[in-house]
């Protein structure tokens, strides 16, 4: 299957399928002078060999490996990777392949966007969450004071999504990926959302996974195409994220995965939509789905509403101390609204009580 993404610089294809990593020569132009595969220490053990073996023998292939984990999205690793680019003499006709999850996609994409003022890169996502990060052109590294503070908009020339690589994902990463999948369903398609709520992640088939990833990418791509630089509707993609970012920052990154935090943020979004704006979102069914799939909803009992509010104020997307939330009138009907601090505090306390 494939999805075409249109961006202001160029259109590119997202190929989705089983075992694509074994046939890379078919999908990658033979015109590159050299290739640098950037990956992390965990993904390397699983898939680097397959990827190297399936690239053309006519083109020199180099590799660079960074430690697995969010802390590699740093200035230090970025510099090291630039050193590798220089050492192996990548030129303007060279290609970078980002083989890994969202961390590698963001880091290697940022290297590609700045080395020689930008060279081609291909995303080869290996996590479910990366269905989100590999499309849309946002690449970045973190600053000690905040996530993704240093980055650019830079689209890949292609995304090659080998669904088979998801077989080695730990449970927590499957949950994390599905936090963003269900967000995309809530934003776009009531039937799909209900279907997801009826299923269990532990019983997920490869066919289902492939279809969910493809639908998620279509939602993301269609929103990003209409609003590349987040002037308007791209904000909808922040559904569930206002609280999620605050939780991640409060608990410390790594305590809970990004997508798990988003899943909890979506619960708060439902609460606000229903209690303050009269929506009738299926909050009970969603709570059960979260429980059945072991999402860490109990983190809510470890946070303090007043501290969450302060964190939301500090969010780089908060302007002039106004906290804007993306809410839903109903499934597939998002809007942005400003919510008063007192109401946020009250609803958060209520939710914390409900889940305690």
Q: Is 258 a catalytic residue?
A: yes
Binding residues for ligand NAD, rule: CB under 6 A, are 40, 42-43, 46, 68-70, 73, 100-104, 106, 126-127, 129-130, 132-133, 136, 138, 147-148, 165-166, 168-169, 173, 176, 258
Q: Where are the alpha helices (DSSP H) in 227-257?
A: 241-251
CB of 147 to ligand NAD, least distance (A): 6
Q: Which member of 155, 258, 271, 311 is catalytic?
A: 258
CB of 224 to ligand NAD, least distance (A): 9
Contact 249, 276 (CB under 8 A): no
Please identify, using beta-carbon distances, which residue of 69 and 232 lies nearer to ligand NAD: 69
CB of 133 to ligand NAD, least distance (A): 3
Q: Is 117 a catalytic residue?
A: yes
Indicate the Cα dihedral angle 189, 244, 318, 7, nearest 10°. -50
Q: Is 148 a catalytic residue?
A: no
Q: Is 131 a catalytic residue?
A: no
Closest CA to 2 of 298, 255, 210: 210
Instruction: Give 102's DSSP letter.
Output: H
CB of 328 to ligand NAD, least distance (A): 20
State the CB neighbour count (10 A cutoff) for residue 176: 26
Please identify, using beta-carbon distances, which residue of 44 and 271 lies nearer to ligand NAD: 44
Please identify, using beta-carbon distances, which residue of 92 and 317 lies nearer to ligand NAD: 317
Q: Is 241 a catalytic residue?
A: yes
Q: Is 6 a catalytic residue?
A: no
Q: Which member of 70, 155, 238, 250 is catalytic?
A: 238
**Which H, E and C letters describe 72-83, residue by residue?**
HCCHHHHHHHHH
Q: Which member of 77, 220, 235, 271 is catalytic?
A: 220
Q: Which member of 230, 255, 275, 341 is catalytic?
A: 230
Q: Is 138 a catalytic residue?
A: yes
CB of 34 to ligand NAD, least distance (A): 25
Please identify, using beta-carbon distances, which residue of 113 and 127 lies nearer to ligand NAD: 127
Q: Is 184 a catalytic residue?
A: no
Contact 47, 21 (CB under 8 A): yes
Contact 72, 78 (CB under 8 A): no
Please identify, using beta-carbon distances, which residue of 120 and 260 lies nearer to ligand NAD: 260
Positions marked catalytic: 117, 138, 180, 220, 230, 234, 238, 241, 245, 258
């Amino acid at each position: 299957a494939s999805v075409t993404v249109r961006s202001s610089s160029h259109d590119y294809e997202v190929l989705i399928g089983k075992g694509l990593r074994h046939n890379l020569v078919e999908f990658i132009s033979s015109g590159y002078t050299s290739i640098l595969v950037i990956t992390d220490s965990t993904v390397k053990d699983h898939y680097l060999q397959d990827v190297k073996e399936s690239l053309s023998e006519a083109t020199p292939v180099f590799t660079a490996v960074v430690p697995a984990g969010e802390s590699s999205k740093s200035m230090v690793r970025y510099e090291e990777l630039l050193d590798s680019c220089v050492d192996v003499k990548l030129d303007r006709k060279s290609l970078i392949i980002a083989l890994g999850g969202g961390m590698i996609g963001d880091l290697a994409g940022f290297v590609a966007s700045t080395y020689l003022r930008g060279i081609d890169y291909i995303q080869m996502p290996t996590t479910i969450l990366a269905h989100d990060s590999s499309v849309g052109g946002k690449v970045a590294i973190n600053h000690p004071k905040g996530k993704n503070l240093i980055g650019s908009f830079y689209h890949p020339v292609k995304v090659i999504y080998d669904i088979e690589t998801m077989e080695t994902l730990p449970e927590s990463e499957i949950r994390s990926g599905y936090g963003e999948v269900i967000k995309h369903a809530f934003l776009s398609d009531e039937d799909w959302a209900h279907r997801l709520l009826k299923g269990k992640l532990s019983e997920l088939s490869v066919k289902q996974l492939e279809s969910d990833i493809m639908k998620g990418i279509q939602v993301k791509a269609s929103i990003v195409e209409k609003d590349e630089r987040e002037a308007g509707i791209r904000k909808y993609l922040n559904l569930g994220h206002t609280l999620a970012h605050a939780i991640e920052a409060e608990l410390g990154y790594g305590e809970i995965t990004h997508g798990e935090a988003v899943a909890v943020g979506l619960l708060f979004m439902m609460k606000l939509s229903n209690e303050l704006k009269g929506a009738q979102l299926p909050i009970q069914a969603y709570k059960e789905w979260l429980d059945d799939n072991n999402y860490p909803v109990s983190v809510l009992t470890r946070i303090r509403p007043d501290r969450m509010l302060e964190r939301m104020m500090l969010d780089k997307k908060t302007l002039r101390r106004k906290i804007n939330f993306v809410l839903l009138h109903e499934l597939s009907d998002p809007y942005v609204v400003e919510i008063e601090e007192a109401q946020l505090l009250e609803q958060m306390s209520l939710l914390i009580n409900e889940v305690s």
